[in-house]
């Protein structure tokens, strides 16, 4: 069998962890985009360009899709007997689930508190 095959559960576990790390990096960039130019005393997020709102939504969609892939690969390979890397499967699963939750919360905060100034 080929060295890299998504039919193998070890490969799924490794992909789950790697995609989870990529989605975590996307979440950090999303957090920066959401909380950039925030007035904490008034709890308002100011943005001056229309592209920022679209960038937040696009990056949130990419983050959620990547985290969903990590969650799916981790869930599929976690309980298999032939999987020699169950820790990576569970880590990718929980990383994906947590990142989905945080991304949804960040988009909700941006949608509720963003104020266009321009």
Write out the chain's pLDDT in tens, 118 residues: 567 787 888 889 999 999 999 999 999 999 999 999 999 999 999 998 889 999 999 999 999 999 999 999 999 998 888 888 889 999 999 999 999 999 999 999 999 999 999 7
Query: 116: alpha, beta or left, given left = phi > 0 and alpha = psi -120 to 50?
Result: beta
Three-state SS string over 18-73 comes to HHHHHHHHHHHHHHHHHHCCEECCCCEEEECCHHHHHHHHHHHHHHHHHHHHHHHH
To the nearest 10 degrees (0 to 180), the angle between helices 9-35 and 86-113 is: 20
Residue 2 pLDDT: 67
Q: Which of 35, 25, 29, 105 is nearest to 66 (CA)?
A: 25
Provide the whole-model pTM: 0.91
pLDDT on residue 69? 97
């Amino acid at each position: 069998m080929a060295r890299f095959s998504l039919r193998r559960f070890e490969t799924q576990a490794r992909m789950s962890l790697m995609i989870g790390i990529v989605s975590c990096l996307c979440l950090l960039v999303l957090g920066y985009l959401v909380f950039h130019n925030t007035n904490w005393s008034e709890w308002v997020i100011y943005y001056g360009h229309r592209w920022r709102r679209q960038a937040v939504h696009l990056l949130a969609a990419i983050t959620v899709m990547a985290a969903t892939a990590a969650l799916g690969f981790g869930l599929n390979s976690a309980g298999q007997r032939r999987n020699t890397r169950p820790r990576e499967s569970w880590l990718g699963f929980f990383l994906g689930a947590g990142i989905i939750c945080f991304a949804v919360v960040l988009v909700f905060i941006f949608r509720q508190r963003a104020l266009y100034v321009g």
